[in-house]
Amino acid sequence: MFYGVGNVHLQMLRALYPKLRIVGRDNVMRIMGDEEQMAAFEESSEKLRQHILKFNAITEEDILDIVKGRRTSEKLPDDVVVYSIAGRPIKARSENQQHLINAFHDNDMVFAVGPAGTGKTYLSIALAVKSLKEKTAKKIILSRPAVEAGEKLGFLPGDMKDKIDPYLQPLYDALEDMIPQVKLQDMMEKHVIQIAPLAFMRGRTLNDAVVILDEAQNTTPAQIRMFLTRMGWNTKMIITGDMTQIDLPRSQKSGLIEALHILNNVEGISVVNLNGKDIVRHKLVTRIVNAYENYDKEYNNNESINKD
């Protein structure tokens, strides 16, 4: 991203600093030449790095403005959470998504509940990435219960990471859309970003972090209670779930349903309910969700009539 497609940004920097020999290879840049220009280049390159960190993109106009000392935008627009690695602004795309953003800022714990495609997980991870970039959190911890979605996966080969990664892939997908691959890998190796199954949370106290529990409808009451009590100092938690996609055995009560009932009026906890109007995937997803909701209502009404 820094070098640009076909090294166009690198070539532009060479033209702007003609007294320097600038060689870029992978993540390493070597600079030789005039000491005065080297000092100016060092200052400009740090500003360029900060710009990319904030906006996940940089244009030739941005480079020219920074090198020439002209003022560039120093803060994100008010409605933008973060930028994707493609430079696309990630922001609320519905009223309830904005409620989720506001609830995160105003509360230490947020429950985001709604059907598939409403952006619960994606927007939650964007808020966590924003907190990391702004240094209001030192790490991101993402977790999911390892529950099979109505199918038996059987024995999975490989080590522990290989076995659990299929359950956690949606979390990786969202992160890869917001953090460049090399940077993300480095953050994970340094445990700045941690992704783990819910079972791995037991016994931990989570401080200075944004912690997200995804697919919470598939937790048991004991599991979600354990998770919620991991909360430490300067930590925010987001718990997401979809009541229509509970994959627990029929005899097992969903921990999310119980938690929402118990914690409904606890100060510092907000519950944001998303619905079909908030779906931001393909328009057919909205129609599918609505069709299933209508079917469930009809089925439940018929069941009630038959019992009477």
Condensed to tens digits (0 to 9), the pLDDT of residues 119-152 reads 899 999 999 999 998 899 999 999 988 765 444 4
Condensed to tens digits (0 to 9), the pLDDT of residues 9-58 reads 778 788 888 888 888 777 777 888 888 888 888 888 888 877 777 777 77
Condensed to tens digits (0 to 9), the pLDDT of residues 256-298 reads 999 999 998 899 999 999 988 888 776 787 788 778 878 877 7
Condensed to tens digits (0 to 9), the pLDDT of residues 74-92 reads 566 678 898 888 778 899 9
Condensed to tens digits (0 to 9), the pLDDT of residues 163-197 reads 567 777 888 899 999 988 888 999 999 999 998 88
Q: How far apart are CA 256 and CA 242, in angstroms?
A: 9
Query: Which two structure tokens, joined as six digits, stand for 88?
Result: 């696309």
CA-only gyration radius of the chain, Å: 23
Check: CB of residue 226 under 8 Å from CB of residue 252. Answer: no
**Residue from 133, 134, 97, 135 nearest 238 by CA:** 97
pTM: 0.73
HSE-CB for 33 with a 13 A CA cutoff:
17
How long is the chain? 308
Check: CB of residue 140 under 8 Å from CB of residue 194. Answer: yes
Q: What angle, 0 to 180 degrees and rounded to 10, lies between the N-to-C axes of helices 120-133 and 95-106?
A: 40
**Residue from 53, 72, 81, 58 nearest 12 by CA:** 58
Query: Which two structure tokens, joined as six digits, stand for 268?
Result: 């510092």
Q: How far apart are CA 28 and CA 181, in angstroms?
A: 16
Query: Which two structure tokens, joined as six digits, stand for 218?
Result: 């598939």
pLDDT at 151: 42
Condensed to tens digits (0 to 9), the pLDDT of residues 242-267 reads 998 888 888 889 999 999 999 988 99
% helix, strand, coil for the chain, step of 5:
45, 15, 35
Check: CB of residue 214 under 8 Å from CB of residue 143. Answer: yes
Strand order of the β-sheet with 236-241 is: 193-197, 139-144, 209-213, 236-241, 109-113, 269-273
CA 174 vs CA 84, 124, 171, 225: distances in Å:
10, 10, 5, 26
What sign has the CA pseudo-torsion 267, 273, 274, 277? Answer: negative
What sign has the CA pseudo-torsion 115, 117, 118, 120? Answer: positive
- Which residue carries 């953090």 as its tokens? 179
Helix and strand counts by DSSP (H, E) for the chain: 10, 10
